[in-house]
Structure 1
């Protein structure tokens, strides 16, 4: 079971948002990480849902079989855990995440406190410095290494 953490960050000055994802194995080692800069959605919840979608798509592209998708948005986690269709503005993203979740042998949705999600928050903030989507295999971008080491220790 691999942990797939996600987070979003808002860049109001440029009307954009950053999405961050990190995938770690049971020993806490990075399998992959990614960042993406997108046009700012209408709400923070939509940013978080977009980050969750980016994370699960990354996990799917890596052909992983069992994951726990973990984020620090209680609203998004509850929406993903709820069997009912979401009629929120981010409902289409929730539906897409659930669709992708069905392709895994095992996929759980979990909430994590913000302080336990510092690597993905830093990745989301780092998206300000990239164009489009950037993915690292078994690594994080250099500016995030210190956050990763602090999180691991």
Structure 2
């Protein structure tokens, strides 16, 4: 598993810029739930993208995490929808059944919560994420 983690890391020349310029605070989920935070990053100069997932309990203790390197630079909506689907699949695979998912792109969140997404460029990715959400 460590080798897979090492292989998923980006080249040192990749530059990271914070997407959030305001103060962000983590908020605890209900004690019976775990909180799944997912995020995607795009590296257009490298034609790559990445996804990260962190699962925490209500005290903020990290219970599990994963990351994935993708060989294509997706759109913001696509990478966030992919991140949501991966996060839900990962959480289900390792045994969590009650969870709260949090991401940072409002259009993806609205699509996950509603039914009006099928014509969006990321509609099939939302469908995948909703399929994974049925496991909770």
* TM-score between both structures, scaled by the size of structure 2: 0.72
- How many residues are aligned here? 104
Map of 2:78 onto structure 1: 46
Q: Assess if the C-alpha contact under 8 Å between 2:42 and 2:74 holds in 1.
A: no
What's the Cα RMSD here? Answer: 1.2
Determine which structure has greater relative contact order: mean sequence separation of CA pairs < 8 Å that are 6+ residues apart, divided by chain length: 1
Query: By percentage of residues, which structure has more helix?
Result: 1
Judging changes above 3 Å, is the alpha-carbon distance between structure 1 residues 90 and 13 closer, same or farther for their aligned structure 2 residues?
Answer: same
Judging changes above 3 Å, is the alpha-carbon distance between structure 1 residues 86 and 6 closer, same or farther for their aligned structure 2 residues?
Answer: same
Q: Assess if the C-alpha contact under 8 Å between 2:38 and 2:54 holds in 1.
A: yes
Judging changes above 3 Å, is the alpha-carbon distance between structure 1 residues 41 and 86 closer, same or farther for their aligned structure 2 residues?
Answer: farther
Q: Indicate the structure (1 or 2) with the bigger Cα radius of gyration.
A: 2
Q: Assess if the C-alpha contact under 8 Å between 2:37 and 2:102 holds in 1.
A: yes
Q: Assess if the C-alpha contact under 8 Å between 1:23 and 1:30 holds in 2.
A: yes
Secondary structure of 1:14's aligned partner: coil
Structure 1 runs (4+) greater than 4 angstroms displaced: none
Give the one of 50, 69, 87 matched to 1:37. 69
Map of 1:90 onto structure 2: 122
Map of 2:103 onto structure 1: 71
Secondary structure of 2:125's aligned partner: helix
* TM-score between both structures, scaled by the size of structure 1: 0.64
Map of 1:13 onto structure 2: 45
Q: Assess if the C-alpha contact under 8 Å between 1:22 and 1:30 holds in 2.
A: yes
Q: Assess if the C-alpha contact under 8 Å between 1:17 and 1:38 holds in 2.
A: yes
Distance 1:45 1:14 in 2: 19
Query: By percentage of residues, which structure has more strand?
Result: 1
Secondary structure of 2:45's aligned partner: helix
What per-residue deviation string (whole Å, max 9, x for no partner) do you get for residues 37-75 of structure 1?
Answer: 002244111011111111111101111111111001001
